[in-house]
A and B are shown apart, each in its own frame.
Chain A
Amino acid sequence: MIEQMRAEFGDSKDMVTEVLDNGFSRLELCFFPGMCDIVQVKDAILVPFSYRFDPDEFRRMLKTGLSFIESDEPKKWPEMLLKGCVLLQYEEKVYSFAAIRKMQKEPGNTEVEASLQGPQSSFTEDLDMNMYLLRLRYNVPSLTAEQLQKGELSGTRIMVVYDRLKVDGGSLDELHKRLDKIRPKLIQAAGQLAMFIGNTRFSMFPITLQTERPDRVAQLIQRGKIAILVDGSRFAVTLPVRFFDFMHAMDDDYEPYWMGRIIIFFRYLGMILSMTLPALYIAACSYNPEFFRVQLAFSIDGSRAAVPYPSFVEVFIMLFMIEALIESSIRLPRFVGSTAATVGGLILGQAAQQAGLVSSIMIIVTSVVAISNFVIPNSSFSYSIRALKYVFVLVATFYGMVGIIVAIFLIVVYLCHLRSFGQPYLAINLKRDQRQSQQSR
């Protein structure tokens, strides 16, 4: 076996191959120390084999031990080794012993979807830990998990989880179909998998929701949705989702009803502002100054007096600045991050306006756009909104106010047209319809 494995892995130096001989019998051992838990290997194999060797007991242990699996197929050996198993050959039989090294021992802290009073624990990068977190919160026998492996090179473990009493059959079939179809090389993150199964390359909006919160996944499963957990990613992909799910933060369910509604209302307002405000500025400046009341128009007029180029150039300059600032504060290491914010803030704030490069109203517009974009609870959705803003800016540059309204219409129709795994993306009162049609049938 050892020779075979050595040949297979091209004599890789991080693999340990050993032939142990305790005087009575021989044991061939082969494993990656980097991927295995050495303590487990010692306790389960080395100690019984060396210090307390009893041939009968050792044989019994190999036969009945939970983590020892006899494997006759040499083809599967490399795969097992790569998963972190130890291969051992004893008395001409090959066994694998799962001593997979675990990085995570406890749940993580929420980082992307922080919550004030909700649970603070989040998924980790370990699939088994995540399953534990999920089962802890959704503790019924009907919770079903299907395990798959995807990725030709990464061989990532994937868990499809749903409540089989509540799940929507159509969506599940659709998901299986798509999962069968995809042939990715590497799967590194849940988002990547979501891309593959969601055809999101052509879509302006995400049709699956990624979350790091076990409570959110539990809630979605309870509503009949499907969650996909990916090994090595601290995010779960849930589907099918609706437009409204993206604007929902878990805190809304943990706070008093009306407070939650008001906050949700502000969130939608923020979304609309962040999409349309730069476009409205262009429309108000260049096409329809009579749209707004006299006093406001004169304020805009006065503040634009020093700006030497048309409004859309101004908007593009400022939007580029703010996007660059946001990107840099995400990518930069923490220590430098604050520097970027300070420099950016100074330039965006006073200097650009005093130099007459942008109007003071444009600065307000820019900051409102940036801030209200952060109000959106889901980051992939907020990316969509950030991108859509430019569609609006473009239309407003050429058509003014009407362009904006037509664009709103188109986006509504487009959202209604989208389907997330067979389910409508944007539709209201759908539950009632279903109930009604069931009653009347």
Chain B
Amino acid sequence: MKRIVLALIACVLASGCGMKDIDKRFYVVTTGIDMTDNPEKPYRISLRLAITAARVESGSSRTEIQTVDAPSIAEGVRLLKSHVDKELEFGHCRMFILGKSLLEKATPETMSWFSRRRDIQMISYFGVGEPDALAVLKVEPKSERYPGNALFLSFGNEGTESPYTITTFLFDLVRKIKERGIDPILPIIRAHNRTYVIDKSVVANKQGQRLFLSAEETQLFKMTSADSSKSELVLPMEDGTRVVMYVSQIRTKVRISAGDAPTVRLKIKVSGVLEESAPELLEKDWHGLEQRMGQRFSKQVEELLVKLRDADADPYGFGLRYLAQHFGKDKEFKAWEASYPEAKFQVSTDVRITGPGVIR
């Protein structure tokens, strides 16, 4: 033991001080990046910095926003260091917001800054700010206890589990930008009074075009691509009322048949309970109701798929699935790329209503 202690002392003496106390660091909780019109300094980098307090109460979170224009993201961050009194720390920055303008012009190389830095977590969330990232950063939600917590909770599925919120992690985004046969999709975050609204999304295809999805389409996409339950199925009736089913379980199976014009078959199984309906509607025609809901859902999904196909976007990863199914290589992928615009979709939905809820 004496030797160990000696050795430890040697280590200790040889080591300088790499330490920096937690209170000497400034935590970045959200980073926003916009495009400016200035060609010299095209990037506008905004950081939301946390100011922590000993006592934590609802709405007590305080933050500070710093903005700078710079020729590159890395330089911008370095410049911002001179604006603040403490060391900037990205270790807890789990939210990155890209301005809409950036999205139009950005190249995959822009993303390399994020994945290259060791302290940026690969599991940080990415989103698109509307109208720009800075506007979203400026929102200070009333209920926020810890700085930046509101967005973390929305995306992390720890707090709200909204069917409209698409969660995209950094690693997921990077892989989809590079991967053949799948395109990245990002949630759109809008500032609305003092809260965020996250219900739309945008798909970026490999040709650099952007396709915006509405709230309904986003929900459909999330339901069918990520098997995300806790959403709803709606069927408007002839008499103007609406039947709403709460989806407790949804499973989607995709099969793609080869051929000149590939056919994509989606088999969806949904089950759940009714949340809103006219009284005794279910008893009258249980099976018929299920079928009508299924048909309507299939149609909706098909419309979405066609819309995506026409924009040459593939957020579902049909291309990848095609390759996987047929153990395809480069040649097969070329064939798929050529035939995708003519692809046909067959969606069949099997709805199962497990009950009418608590009342009859």
Establish whether A and B are touching in the complex (CB under 8 Å).
yes
Question: Is A364 positioned at the interface, with any CB of B under 8 Å from its CB?
Answer: no
Question: Is B350 positioned at the interface, with any CB of A under 8 Å from its CB?
Answer: no
For B54, the chain A residues whose CB sits under 8 A away are 302-303, 305-306, 360
Interface residues in B239-280 by Cβ distance below 8 A to A read none
A394 contacts B23, CB within 8 Å?
no
Task: Compute how far the CA of A297 lies from the CA of B5 in the bound complex, rounded to whole angstroms.
Answer: 31
Q: Which of A128-136, A280-288, A426-434 contacts B (4 or more CB under 8 A)?
A: A280-288
Question: Is B18 positioned at the interface, with any CB of A under 8 Å from its CB?
Answer: yes
A394 contacts B1, CB within 8 Å?
no
Which residue from B18, B29, B152 sits with its C-beta under 8 Å from A287?
B18
A298 contacts B147, CB within 8 Å?
yes
Interface residues in A296-317 by Cβ distance below 8 A to B read 297-307, 310-311
A298 contacts B18, CB within 8 Å?
no
Question: Is B359 positioned at the interface, with any CB of A under 8 Å from its CB?
Answer: no
Question: Is A51 positioned at the interface, with any CB of B under 8 Å from its CB?
Answer: no
For B92, the chain A residues whose CB sits under 8 A away are 289-290, 294, 297-298
Give the most central of B19, B29, B119, B152: most A CB within 10 Å. B19
Interface residues in A408-424 by Cβ distance below 8 A to B read 410, 414
For A295, the chain B residues whose CB sits under 8 A away are 146, 149
Question: Is A203 positioned at the interface, with any CB of B under 8 Å from its CB?
Answer: yes
B1 contacts A286, CB within 8 Å?
no
Question: Is A204 positioned at the interface, with any CB of B under 8 Å from its CB?
Answer: yes
Q: Which of B7-15, B71-79, B125-133, B302-310 contacts A (4 or more CB under 8 A)?
A: B7-15
Give the most central of A289, A299, A304, A307: most B CB within 10 Å. A289
For B53, the chain A residues whose CB sits under 8 A away are 302, 305
Task: Compute how far the CA of A278 lies from the CA of B148 in the bound complex, rounded to whole angstroms.
Answer: 28
Q: Kindly supply a per-residue 1/0 record for chain B positions 113-142, scoring 1 wherever the CB is within 8 Å of any chain A CB and 0 otherwise.
A: 000000101000000000000000000000
Q: Nearest chain-B residue to A290 (Cβ)?
A: B91
Q: Nearest chain-A residue to B91 (Cβ)?
A: A290
Q: Which of A162-170, A374-382, A397-405 contacts B (4 or more CB under 8 A)?
A: A397-405
B22 contacts A284, CB within 8 Å?
yes
Question: Is B48 positioned at the interface, with any CB of A under 8 Å from its CB?
Answer: no
Q: Kindly supply a per-residue 1/0 record for chain B positions 1-35, scoring 1 wherever the CB is within 8 Å of any chain A CB and 0 otherwise.
A: 11011001001100101111111010101000000
Which residue from A202, A287, A290, A311 sits with its C-beta under 8 Å from B1?
A202
Taking A203-B1, A294-B92 as contacts, is the C-beta distance between A305 and B52 under 8 angstroms?
Answer: yes
Taking A305-B54, A414-B4 as contacts, is the C-beta distance between A286 and B19 under 8 angstroms?
Answer: yes
Q: Chain B at the A interface: mostly helix, strand, loop or mixed?
A: loop
For A307, the chain B residues whose CB sits under 8 A away are 23
Task: Compute how far the CA of A287 lies from the CA of B119 in the bound complex, rounded to whole angstroms.
Answer: 13
Taking A285-B21, A307-B23, A400-B18 as contacts, is the C-beta distance between A394 and B8 under 8 angstroms?
Answer: yes
Task: Compute how far the CA of A274 lies from the CA of B63 in the bound complex, rounded to whole angstroms.
Answer: 36
A300 contacts B22, CB within 8 Å?
yes
For A302, the chain B residues whose CB sits under 8 A away are 52-56
A289 contacts B19, CB within 8 Å?
no
For B119, the chain A residues whose CB sits under 8 A away are 290
Interface residues in B85-116 by Cβ distance below 8 A to A read 89, 91-92, 94
Task: Compute how far the CA of A290 lies from the CA of B20 in the bound complex, rounded to whole angstroms.
Answer: 12
For B146, the chain A residues whose CB sits under 8 A away are 294-295, 298
For B11, the chain A residues whose CB sits under 8 A away are 395, 398-399
Task: Compute how far the CA of A187 lies from the CA of B200 in the bound complex, rounded to whole angstroms.
Answer: 82
Task: Compute how far the CA of A290 lies from the CA of B146 in the bound complex, rounded to whole angstroms.
Answer: 15
Give the most central of B2, B8, B15, B56: most A CB within 10 Å. B8
Which residue from A287, A298, A299, A398 sits with its C-beta under 8 Å from B27?
A298
A290 contacts B22, CB within 8 Å?
no
Chain B interface, number of residues (Cβ within 8 angstroms): 35
Count A/B pairs, Cβ under 8 Å: 91
Question: Is A352 positioned at the interface, with any CB of B under 8 Å from its CB?
Answer: no
Question: Is A391 positioned at the interface, with any CB of B under 8 Å from its CB?
Answer: yes
Question: Is B70 positioned at the interface, with any CB of A under 8 Å from its CB?
Answer: no
B23 contacts A391, CB within 8 Å?
no
Q: Nearest chain-B residue to A282 (Cβ)?
A: B19
For B52, the chain A residues whose CB sits under 8 A away are 298-299, 301-302, 305
Task: Compute how far the CA of A289 lies from the CA of B52 in the bound complex, rounded to whole angstroms.
Answer: 14
Which residue from B4, B21, B152 sits with its C-beta under 8 Å from A410?
B4
Task: Compute how far the CA of A301 lies from the CA of B89 in the bound complex, rounded to whole angstroms.
Answer: 13
A310 contacts B89, CB within 8 Å?
no
Question: Is B223 positioned at the interface, with any CB of A under 8 Å from its CB?
Answer: no
Q: Nearest chain-A residue to B119 (Cβ)?
A: A290
Task: Compute how far the CA of A387 lies from the CA of B25 in the bound complex, rounded to whole angstroms.
Answer: 32
Q: Nearest chain-B residue to A300 (Cβ)?
A: B22
Task: Compute how far the CA of A284 lies from the CA of B20 in the bound complex, rounded to whole angstroms.
Answer: 10
A289 contacts B91, CB within 8 Å?
yes
Task: Compute how far the CA of A140 lies from the CA of B53 in the bound complex, rounded to whole angstroms.
Answer: 69
For B55, the chain A residues whose CB sits under 8 A away are 302
Task: Compute how far the CA of A303 lies from the CA of B52 in the bound complex, rounded to whole angstroms.
Answer: 9
Question: Is B50 positioned at the interface, with any CB of A under 8 Å from its CB?
Answer: yes
Q: How many whole Å from B7's CB to the nearest CB in chain A?
A: 9
Q: Nearest chain-B residue to A411 (Cβ)?
A: B4
Task: Compute how far the CA of A404 lies from the CA of B257 in the bound complex, rounded to whole angstroms.
Answer: 56
Task: Compute how far the CA of A300 lies from the CA of B23 in the bound complex, rounded to whole angstroms.
Answer: 9
Which residue from B17, B19, B21, B22 sits with its C-beta under 8 Å from A297?
B22
A400 contacts B19, CB within 8 Å?
yes
Q: Nearest chain-B residue to A311 (Cβ)?
A: B21
B22 contacts A286, CB within 8 Å?
yes
Task: Compute how far the CA of A295 lies from the CA of B152 in the bound complex, rounded to whole angstroms.
Answer: 10
Taking A289-B25, A294-B152, A303-B54 as contacts, is the C-beta distance between A414 and B18 under 8 angstroms?
Answer: no
For B152, the chain A residues whose CB sits under 8 A away are 294
B15 contacts A301, CB within 8 Å?
no
Task: Compute how far the CA of A252 lies from the CA of B208 in the bound complex, rounded to whole angstroms.
Answer: 68
For A397, the chain B residues whose CB sits under 8 A away are 12, 19
Task: Compute how far the CA of A428 lies from the CA of B89 in the bound complex, rounded to whole angstroms.
Answer: 44
Q: Nearest chain-A residue to B147 (Cβ)?
A: A298
Q: Nearest chain-B residue to A303 (Cβ)?
A: B54
Q: How many whole Å from A325's CB to the nearest CB in chain B?
A: 25
Task: Compute how far the CA of A397 lies from the CA of B13 in the bound complex, rounded to whole angstroms.
Answer: 12
Task: Compute how far the CA of A295 lies from the CA of B92 in the bound complex, rounded to whole angstroms.
Answer: 10
A294 contacts B22, CB within 8 Å?
no
Task: Compute how far the CA of A294 lies from the CA of B147 in the bound complex, rounded to whole angstroms.
Answer: 9
9 new A-B contacts, CB < 8 A, other than A299-B56, A300-B22, are A286-B22, A289-B22, A289-B92, A294-B146, A298-B50, A307-B23, A311-B22, A394-B8, A398-B15
On A, residues with C-beta under 8 Å from B are: 202-204, 284-287, 289-290, 294-295, 297-307, 310-311, 360, 391, 394-395, 397-400, 410, 414
Q: Could you give 23 example pairs across A and B, Cβ below 8 Å?
A: A202-B1, A204-B1, A287-B18, A289-B92, A290-B92, A290-B119, A290-B121, A294-B146, A294-B148, A295-B146, A297-B27, A299-B52, A302-B54, A302-B56, A304-B22, A305-B54, A311-B21, A311-B22, A360-B54, A391-B8, A398-B11, A398-B12, A400-B18
Which 7 interchain pairs have the tightest Cβ spacing?
A: A290-B91, A302-B52, A286-B19, A301-B52, A204-B1, A285-B22, A398-B15
